[in-house]
Amino acid sequence: MPIFDIHQHAGPMPMFEDAYSKTSGDTSWVEQDYAFRVKTMEMHGITRAVIGPTNFYLRVNGLRDTMAMNDAVASFKRRDPARFPLALGVVEPLYGEASLPELERMKRELDMDGVMFHHRFQGAFIDNWVMRPYVRKMRELGLIPFIHIMAGSEMENVWRLQVLAEEFPDVTFVALDSLSSFYQLEEVIRISKRTPNIYWDTACLWQGPFTVARFVHHAGPDRLMFASDLYGTKTGHSPAENLAAVMTAEISEAEKSKVLWGNAIRLFRL
């Protein structure tokens, strides 16, 4: 069964000692990251992945560092489009509307496909006012918003994403770290029924196979997508646990195929 991983992070994590780089704007980490990532994907049978940035990168030089991160992530798709058919950029909510031209550059020059937000590491709430001009611009450009909703973060409450999804019903959102606690699982199931424009992922699963099965049984199999949350250093997550959760969940083989491959292929029109 082919596997499409819709949630990977590339780049340095300077708060960890084993980060590739602790220098703002440095992109020398790309080769090491690419080699580690391809080896890990092949080990676990992952054939395609959505590659995004780490939101931990240093921003000493502001927008210039953001642009350097986007250049680096875009290079994965340019180098290996079969393995990385989608590349996601980053913009910083606290830069305000100064980031809007970078969205244009990401689409027009870098051929990127979406934007990855991790608001608790970016100092803003998901439903902050600045997200409105960002989402409008992403809608205009055809960029998909990928938004983390990690359980336990007030900045990333799932109801905040619901606010945006209801305000922009013609925009498709991808929610990352969707099912990362029992209470969030129950909330996501309810919200999913009211927001057909949100897709959900399997990163940071709470109680693996049980969580996958409960979501599929109560919210359906058509908007859940496999995700590993793989980073490019040994501090990152292994795909093994989340893969095992899907494969051993008490759902049908057809439903597993949708989660592991089919839903992503359909959503991203590949």
Asked if 198 contacts 163 with a C-beta cutoff of 8 angstroms, the reply is: no
**pLDDT tens digit string along 95-131?**
999 999 999 999 999 999 999 999 999 999 999 999 9
pLDDT exceeds 60 at position 156: yes
Model confidence band, residue 1 (pLDDT cutoffs 50, 70, 90)? confident
How much is the average pLDDT of 34-57?
Answer: 94
215 pLDDT more than 70: yes
Strands 86-89 and 48-53: parallel
Give the pLDDT band (50/70/90) at residue 237: low
Helix 158-167 × helix 131-141 angle, to 10°: 50
Tell me if 90 sits within 8 A of 53, measured CB to CB.
yes
Q: What single-letter DSSP state applies at residue 5?
A: E
Mean pLDDT, residues 260-268: 98
Tell me what pLDDT residue 57 has: 85
Q: Which residue has the tokens 């990251």?
A: 33
Share of the chain above pLDDT 70, in %: 93
Region 67-93 average pLDDT: 97
Cβ burial, residue 21 (10 Å; 0-12/13-18/19+): middle
Q: Strand runs (DSSP E) across 72-227, as ranges?
A: 86-89, 114-117, 144-148, 173-176, 198-201, 224-225
Rounded to the nearest 10°, the torsion over CA 127, 72, 226, 175 is 0
β-bridge partners, 165: none
Q: What is the pLDDT of residue 25?
A: 64
d(CA 77, CA 86): 7
* Mean pLDDT across 213-231: 96
| Mean pLDDT of all residues belonging to the chain | 93
Tell me what pLDDT residue 261 has.
98
> Which 8-state DSSP code applies to residue 115?
E
Which pLDDT does position 232 carry in this prediction? 78
Q: Which domain holds residue 51?
A: 4-267
At 163 the pLDDT is 98
- Angstrom distance (rounded) from CA 249 to CA 242: 11
Q: Whole-prediction pTM value?
A: 0.95
User: Looking at per-residue confidence, does 6 or 233 come out higher?
Assistant: 6
Q: Check whether 16 has a pLDDT greater than 70.
A: no
- The conformation of residue 230, written as its DSSP 8-state character, comes to B
Residue 34 belongs to a domain with what CATH number? 3.20.20.140
The pair of structure tokens assigned to 26 is 């440095």
pLDDT tier at 142 (50, 70, 90 boundaries)?
very high
Query: Looking at residues 22-33, what average pLDDT do you find?
Result: 76
State yes or no: pLDDT of 17 exceeds 60.
no
- Total domain count, the chain: 1
Q: Over range 2-25, report the average pLDDT.
A: 75
pLDDT for the residue 59: 87
Q: Which amino acid is at 17?
A: E
pLDDT digits 0-9 by tens, 160-202: 999 999 999 999 999 999 999 999 999 999 999 999 999 999 9
Helix (H) or strand (E) holding 243: helix 240-248
